[in-house]
Amino acid sequence: MDIVKLTIDNKPLEVEKGTTVLKAARKAKIEIPTLCYFELDGMKIENKPGGCRVCVVEIAGRRNLAPACTTVCTEGMVVKTHSIRALNARRTVVELMLSDHPFDCLICAKSGNCELQTLAHKLGIREIHYQGAKSTYRKDTSPAIIRDIDKCILCRRCEMMCNDVQSVGALSGIYRGFNAVVAPAFEMNLEKSTCTYCGQCVSVCPTGALTEVDHSRNVINSLADPTKIVVVQTAPAVRAALGEEFGMEPGSLVTGKMVAALRRLGFNYVFDTDFAADLTIMEEGTELLDRLGKFLKGDKSVKLPILTSCCPGWVNFFEANFPEMRDIPSTAKSPQQMFGAIAKNYFAKKIGVDRKNMVVVSVMPCLAKKYECAREEFSVNGDPDVNYSISTRELADLIKLANIDFNSLPEEDFDRPLGESTGASVIFGTTGGVIEAAVRTAYEIHTGKTLNKVDFTELRGLENIRQASIDFNGVSINIGIAHGLGNARKLLEDIRAGKSKFHAIEIMACPGGCIGGGGQPYHHGNFEILKKRAAALYQEDAEKPLRKSHENPYIKQLYEEFLGKPMSEISHHLLHTHYFDKSAEIVVNE
Amino acid sequence: MAAKIKIPERKLQELKDICKSFNNEKGELINVLHKAQSSFGYLPAEVQEVIAQELNVSVAHVFGVVSFYTFFTMKPKGEFPISVCLGTACYVRGAEKVLEEFKKHLKIQVGETTADGKFSISCLRCVGACGLAPVVMVGDKVYGRVAPEGVKDILAEYNG
Amino acid sequence: MATHKQLRIALRNCGVIDPEKITDYIERDGYSALAKVINELGTVRTIDLMKKSGLRGRGGGGFPTGLKWEIASKNYADQKYVVCNADEGDPGAFMDRSVLEGDPHSVIEAMAICGFSIGATKGLVYIRAEYPLAIERLKIAINQAREYGLLGKNIFGSDFDFDIELRYGAGAFVCGEETALIHSMEGKRGEPTVKPPFPAESGYLEKPTNVNNVETFANIPPIILKGAEWFASIGSEKSKGTKVFALAGKINNVGLIEVPMGTTLREVIYDIGGGIKDGKEFKAVQTGGPSGGCLTKKHLDTAIDYDNLIAAGSMMGSGGMVVMDEDDCMVSIAKFYLEFTVEESCGKCTPCRIGNKRLFEILEKITEGKGTMEDLDKLRNLSNTIKDTALCGLGQTSPNPVLSTMDNFMDEYLEHINEKRCRASQCKALTRYIIDAEQCTGCTICARNCPVNAIKGERKQPHTINQDICIKCGVCYEKCKFNAISVK
């Protein structure tokens, strides 16, 4: 390993050859401010266009200031990160950005979480010396994401996420010069573009240019309506991240406090999406075994690999990009929608409430869930199975709005029956979790044996694409896992080319799975946070008395009382769905 | 999602042929756009959608490129496109006044086309004929040493 | 045009040969430099010769060409590229167009020499789509060279293969910057990227790529044939050979000239250019286009080379030279260039995207008579920050027209601000139409034609213009038959 010696702010340093000034400085605990720079190092995600020029530093012997993010350390380099020249330049650059930015910070959705605001504060900017015209654009609201690109500072993080990581290609830098901005083609609405609503653009946007559609108002109105029974479900990844919004350490599990908070907010029933995740495993696992069984008996018509279908961003992705393969994913609805269907068709009857008077709210780490619950096929006579989906961030805002001191809340438990869950469902929230949960159940059903060890560590981790073979009593089942839609695309292209060797593939749209979802508290590129969230979910799984979906007593009860068996006729009606061709279609008109 | 792109068959085939002549290589996007613009006169959204599909790139990327380069236009130009050079040599020799004169006569702004589709005005940055400054081009025809008073005569040539 | 001070190396064949006939070029020693390189010199000695010649890039930066080739030659890769930058974008410069139209084979030959030297088999010419004739001639020349076996496989019986393709620019000045040019050739937005990595390490399709401009290439065959010493004997100490300039503006002889480096501005403007048009007074000469600056009378005896021009606050650029006289307002000139930069900025980095827009707005304010002394501080401070922080060469040099006019013509800025006066009468908002009572006959034609009724007066009595209402349209000035109206 080649070593380079340099000094930064008079500190002598030794770094590996190829290290940038920014990373060398961070190693030495010198925090050079950045704005366009973004990194998730564990997943090789990096954005460093060198465009914002906030991280400029003075390097002895160089004519111009240099951006620390892209400048590589050289032997004997002398760097000053806070010389007057660098400080003045940095401040002017931020002043210029502010001069082309709306001044609505007081009411901006991102206020308090805005990196530009933080930076302006850190640099002590009290006056903007260079005022002038502002670049303005049309505001665009889609079912999940709001674009207010007057606030775009052209960091290009969203563009990088949408193209390089997700391969969705909904966004691009458009126009040039003062008018340059990141937007869909022709500045069309996001809704008309190939956007999957994965929300990764929102999760990395440093300003209020990209935010989620806020449904918390609707939730408050429902809670205030005495004629409504309001039921809430919470996705697994929420409990591993919500605490961050209240100053807790990343990775703090706040299941009990979250339940307590939801109760205090006034929800009539506090249930768990995990229950529906167990149900998903019953349906999807049975479907897997069904397809696999036919395949092993030589049935050529059977489609393999089977792909998971829990993730709405992923569903949107294949409907738009691989519509001809839409018969491959499992037909099982996502846990959110299974929950909604069971809540309004089973639980509502059980408690004697008309489904029209029941409001189902979901708390999700996700923005695509907002779109999913609004899909027409998930409504009965205009009444959606899930009325509103709010993000982890929106829930945190609601709790703060209701003056609830989250940290001092007691730990409470979910209501029954739809609040009982197994460890298998908890790990749905991280990449690899769904398939591990499916394996636990499918293995026992297929082999009739009890697993000695339920932990399939070979399926865990945060590498982009993973694979493992699991021995099903002499039959080797090949499993693939991808998180991030760009990785998913690779596996899909293999399938299309007939090269895929997998029997089952789990796909999550967001890097890390739901723990890194577009609706989670902002991680600001800190990869450790994602790792800790994942660890928290595996911890909750390990601590659960029941760790296999088919052991959930309330799931058993549900099948006994209502559904019959997995993939029964009523299951098909309520718990399975079908997919659409949503690709851009070229129509000839003469 | 599910955008429907409407395009006449003949146009679609021509576009596909253009893309194919560049092996549907995404690196050839700019060459493809040049060809498409010279065939259709401009690059409307549906043309960009088809090119994106044929070259297997996102339409956002195609539009990002189209909107970056001033040579590409999404608006049809006039039958006789007028280009006024605003390079330095032309500028110091009064090109701006010439431009104003064209705008006044045709009652359109830069980047617009007259209602009858006959003329459009655009600005150029140096056509490399600084010796003839100020320079105006109508289509491929170059007019040198144009004075504001001469604008009427130039237009008259095409108004017959 | 006076020729005794000129020396034509790059333009040696322009206007002399038929550019569509390869035989014409070959008769004048065409392709013998390529033969010499392949059969006699080999790669190492060729690069050595190029280094010794002292040739520096003619596109503006002035980077030593031989050194550039050496770096590219030392980066090993399965494929390398030679790129000719023919995206001549400086308003007021057209030498590349003349070379491509008048002597396309010299560029082709030089690209092949470069390919041989650095180990590249593919050449690309990135050329402006606005140059149809140059494109046509280049295509003809490439085909002829292929027919003659001077492009293609086994050139001169050696194992050296080389061929050239064209790539078209699409109207983006920033694509003259080599990283932006490469992205444009790859079918992307022409946004520059931070260097390093330099194109010589990772360029077109991430392969080592050597980019030189048209004029640089045109110099190369004579250097190979006549030797490094010959070339190095021409020019000044650190700038060897000749430079082509495009003389334009308020000068009697406009057009392309080629002079040895070290020729003074006075020689160029007066001896070759024939002095200022219409006997007016010389005020400034702008060199280097939007990246350069305005030089004044005190610089007339400056010897033109890369380093002297930078020292004087301007730069060589690609060789545009626009002469200005007393009728030109230097604040407006600065504004003109900033408007250009604002339009041509790619928008990637903050200082160029927003900073230049703000510079332009301040200049606009000054030319409208609304400027303050504080604005002058802002102009200077912001200019310095943009130079210090912008990502690419375009942004880093864009404030030069502002700084050089402030350095050399501060009195004009002050007049605009303090006296609300433009001495060249170029700033419309500051011009005043005044009726001379002595000359005015009271014919009323001005008052009748004034679109805003700003002119008042009795028939046969001197008229006056109400400056508060006047929109400075100039109709009265045009209509007056007695020269009674003047512009101040």
Report the distance separating Cα A10 and Cα A20, nearest Å.
17
Q: Which helix (H) or strand (E) holds C213?
A: strand C209-213
Tell me the chain C residues in contact with residue B28 when contact means C-beta distances shorter than 8 Å: 187
Q: Is A320 on the interface with B (CB under 8 A)?
A: yes
On whether both C360 and C309 belong to a single domain, the answer is no
Q: Is A319 on the interface with B (CB under 8 A)?
A: yes
Q: Which domains does chain B have, with CATH numbers?
A: 9-66 (no CATH), 80-158 (3.40.30.10)
* Residue C147, min C-alpha distance to chain B (Å): 23
Percentages helix, strand, coil for chain A (3-state, rounded to 5) are 40, 15, 40
What is the ipTM metric for this complex?
Answer: 0.93
A90: left (phi over 0), alpha (psi -120 to 50) or beta: alpha
Tell me the chain A residues in contact with residue B1 when contact means C-beta distances shorter than 8 Å: 191-195, 316, 319-320, 582
C10 inside domain: no
- Closest in B30, B88, B133 to C168, CB measured: B30
Question: What phi, psi does C242 have (nearest 5°)?
Answer: -115, 170
CATH value at residue C158: 3.40.50.11540
Asked whether B86 and B125 are in contact (CB, 8 A), the reply is yes
Tokens 């028939």, residue? C459
Q: Which helix (H) or strand (E) holds A490?
A: helix A485-496
Tell me the chain A residues in contact with residue B60 when contact means C-beta distances shorter than 8 Å: 169-172, 174, 183-185, 193
- Cβ–Cβ gap C91/B91 under 8 Å: yes
C1 inside domain: no
Taking the CA atoms of residue B139, residue B144, residue B149 and residue B154 in that order, the dihedral angle to the nearest 10 degrees is -30
What are the tens digits of pLDDT across the range B93-136?
Answer: 888 899 999 999 999 999 889 998 899 998 887 777 777 889 89
In DSSP terms, B83 is beta-bridged to: B122, B137
Residue of C nearest to B86 (CA): C91
On whether both C189 and C75 belong to a single domain, the answer is yes
- Closest in C91, C167, C249 to B125, CB measured: C91
On whether both C251 and C374 belong to a single domain, the answer is no
Report the distance separating Cα C244 and Cα A384, nearest Å.
74
**What b-and-e string marks burial along C157-172, b requiring 16 or more CB atoms within 10 Å of the CB?**
eeebebbbebbbbbbb
* Record: fold of A3-97: Ubiquitin-like (UB roll) (3.10.20)
- Report residue C55 as tokens: 């040739």
- Cβ–Cβ gap C130/B127 under 8 Å: yes
In DSSP terms, A6 is beta-bridged to: A13, A77
Residue of A nearest to B60 (CA): A185
Report the distance separating Cα A515 and Cα B22, nearest Å.
44
Report the distance separating Cα A209 and Cα A200, nearest Å.
13
- Report residue C241 as tokens: 């050979």
- Closest in A56, A72, A129 to C378, CB measured: A129
On whether both C43 and C192 belong to a single domain, the answer is yes
C73 inside domain: yes
Per-domain residue ranges of chain A = 3-97, 137-212, 217-575
- Cβ–Cβ gap C187/B30 under 8 Å: yes
pLDDT tens sequence for chain C (488 residues) = 455 689 999 999 999 999 999 999 999 999 999 999 999 999 999 999 999 999 999 987 789 999 999 999 999 999 999 999 999 888 778 899 999 999 999 999 999 999 999 999 999 999 998 888 999 999 999 999 999 999 999 999 999 999 999 999 998 999 999 999 999 999 999 999 998 889 999 999 999 999 999 999 999 999 999 999 999 999 999 999 999 999 988 999 988 999 999 999 999 999 999 999 999 999 999 998 888 999 999 999 999 999 999 899 889 888 889 999 999 999 999 999 999 999 999 999 999 999 999 999 999 999 999 999 999 999 999 999 999 999 999 999 999 999 999 999 999 999 999 999 999 988 988 888 899 999 999 999 999 998 889 999 999 999 999 988 888 888 898 889 999 998 87
pLDDT bin (cut points 50, 70, 90) of residue B160 is low
On whether both C265 and C162 belong to a single domain, the answer is no
**Residues 154 to 193 of C: which have CB under 8 A from any A CB?**
172, 189, 191, 193
Which of C174, C254, C314 to mutate to test binding with chain B, by most B CBs within 10 Å of its CB? C254
Q: Is residue C438 classed as helix, strand or coil in its secondary structure?
A: coil
Residues of A designated catalytic = 284, 287, 310, 330, 369, 372, 377, 514
C53 inside domain: yes
Q: Is residue C457 classed as helix, strand or coil in its secondary structure?
A: coil
Which residue, of C199, C231, C263, is where some domain finishes? C231
Chain B contact partners (≥3 CB pairs within 8 A): A, C
CA count, 13 A, side-chain hemisphere, C371:
32
- Report residue C277 as tokens: 């048009």
Tell me the chain A residues in contact with residue B73 when contact means C-beta distances shorter than 8 Å: none
Q: What is the CA radius of gyration of chain B?
A: 18
Residue of C nearest to B38 (CA): C129
Question: C197, C179, C192: which is closest to C352 by C-alpha?
Answer: C192
**What b-and-e string marks burial along A420-429, b requiring 16 or more CB atoms within 10 Å of the CB?**
bbbbbbbbbb
Report the distance separating Cα B51 and Cα B40, nearest Å.
13
What are the tens digits of pLDDT across the range C178-233?
Answer: 999 999 999 999 999 998 889 999 999 999 999 999 999 999 999 999 999 999 99
Highest CATH level, class, for A137-212: alpha beta
Report the distance separating Cα C243 and Cα A383, nearest Å.
77
- Closest in A170, A184, A588 to B9, CB measured: A588
Predicted local distance difference test score (pLDDT) of residue C269: 95
Tell me the chain C residues in contact with residue A130 when contact means C-beta distances shorter than 8 Å: 354-355, 358, 378, 382
**Residues 73 to 132 of B: which have CB under 8 A from any A CB?**
none
Preceding omega of C196 cis (within 30 degrees of 0) = yes
* Residue A3, min C-alpha distance to chain B (Å): 38
**Number of separate domains in chain C:** 4
C161 inside domain: yes
**What b-and-e string marks burial along C310-328, b requiring 16 or more CB atoms within 10 Å of the CB?**
bebbbbbbbbbbbbbbebb
On whether both C140 and C251 belong to a single domain, the answer is no
**Residues 360 to 399 of A: which have CB under 8 A from any B CB?**
none
One-letter amino acid for residue C371 of the chain: G
**What b-and-e string marks burial along A137-171, b requiring 16 or more CB atoms within 10 Å of the CB?**
beebebbbbbbbbbbbbbbbbbbbbbbebbbbbbb
Residue of C nearest to A72 (CA): C196
Q: Where are the beta strands (DSSP E) in A192-349?
A: 210-212, 229-234, 269-272, 306-307
On whether both C74 and C191 belong to a single domain, the answer is yes
- Cβ–Cβ gap B1/A194 under 8 Å: yes
Give me the DSSP letters along C234-252. Answer: SB-SSSBSEEEEEEEESBS
Chain A contact partners (≥3 CB pairs within 8 A): B, C
- Cβ–Cβ gap A584/B58 under 8 Å: no
**Residues 5 to 34 of B: which have CB under 8 A from any A CB?**
5-9, 12
Q: What is the CA radius of gyration of chain A?
A: 25
On whether both C33 and C99 belong to a single domain, the answer is yes
**Residues 32 to 71 of B: which have CB under 8 A from any A CB?**
45, 48-50, 53, 57-64, 67-68
**Which residues, other chains included, contact B115 with Cβ-Cβ below 8 Å and sequence gap of 6+?**
none
**Residues 125 to 144 of B: which have CB under 8 A from any C CB?**
125-131, 133, 140
CATH value at residue C442: 3.30.70.20
Long-range contacts made by residues A445-454, C-beta under 8 angstroms, separation at least 24? A445/A285, A445/A286, A445/A289, A445/A550, A446/A289, A446/A472, A446/A473, A447/A472, A447/A473, A449/A473, A451/A548, A454/A423, A454/A424, A454/A547, A454/A548
* Record: fold of A217-575: Rossmann fold (3.40.50)
Which of A174, A190, A316, A583 to mutate to test binding with chain B, by most B CBs within 10 Å of its CB? A174
- Cβ–Cβ gap B68/A194 under 8 Å: no
What are the tens digits of pLDDT across the range A62-117?
Answer: 999 999 999 999 999 999 999 999 999 999 999 999 999 999 999 999 999 999 99
Question: C298, C288, C233, C221: which is closest to C265 by C-alpha?
Answer: C298
The sheet carrying C122-127 orders its strands as C163-168, C122-127, C81-86, C209-213
- Report residue A118 as tokens: 């933080």
On whether both C255 and C164 belong to a single domain, the answer is no
Tell me the chain B residues in contact with residue C169 when contact means C-beta distances shorter than 8 Å: 69, 71
- Closest in C130, C205, C320 to B124, CB measured: C130
- Cβ–Cβ gap B129/C255 under 8 Å: no
> CA–CA distance from A223 to each of A218, A263, A406, C164 (Å)?
9, 11, 19, 71
Question: What phi, psi does C419 have (nearest 5°)?
Answer: -105, -5
- Cβ–Cβ gap C248/B130 under 8 Å: yes
Question: What phi, psi does A372 have (nearest 5°)?
Answer: -60, -45
Asked whether A512 and A319 are in contact (CB, 8 A), the reply is no
- Cβ–Cβ gap B8/A584 under 8 Å: no
On whether both C44 and C87 belong to a single domain, the answer is yes
- Report residue A172 as tokens: 């691009």
Q: What pTM, to 2 d.p., does this model score?
A: 0.93
- Cβ–Cβ gap A169/B61 under 8 Å: yes
C11 inside domain: no
Report the distance separating Cα A217 and Cα A458, nearest Å.
43
C5 inside domain: no
Tokens 């008109």, residue? A589
Question: A180, A84, A105, A94: which is closest to A129 by C-alpha?
Answer: A94
Q: Which helix (H) or strand (E) holds A58?
A: strand A56-59
Predicted local distance difference test score (pLDDT) of residue C258: 96
Predicted local distance difference test score (pLDDT) of residue B1: 45
Report the distance separating Cα A158 and Cα A96, nearest Å.
21
**Which residues, other chains included, contact C203 with Cβ-Cβ below 8 Å and sequence gap of 6+?**
C81, C83, C178, C182, C209, C210, C211
Q: Which residues in chain A show pLDDT less than 70?
A: 590
Tell me the chain B residues in contact with residue C205 when contact means C-beta distances shorter than 8 Å: 27
C290 inside domain: yes
On whether both C105 and C138 belong to a single domain, the answer is yes
Q: Is C141 on the interface with A (CB under 8 A)?
A: no
- Closest in C92, C98, C132 to B126, CB measured: C92
Note down the domain range covering C135.
22-231
Report the distance separating Cα A17 and Cα A437, nearest Å.
43
Predicted local distance difference test score (pLDDT) of residue C4: 63
On whether both C297 and C349 belong to a single domain, the answer is no
- Cβ–Cβ gap A176/B1 under 8 Å: no
In DSSP terms, C282 is beta-bridged to: C325
Which residue, of C390, C419, C448, is where some domain finishes? C419
- Report residue A193 as tokens: 């573009």
Q: How many CB pairs below 8 Å do chains A and C form together?
A: 103
- Cβ–Cβ gap B1/A173 under 8 Å: no
CA count, 13 A, side-chain hemisphere, A581:
7
- Cβ–Cβ gap B126/C169 under 8 Å: no
- Cβ–Cβ gap B89/C184 under 8 Å: no
CATH value at residue C290: 3.10.20.600
Asked whether C128 and C169 are in contact (CB, 8 A), the reply is yes
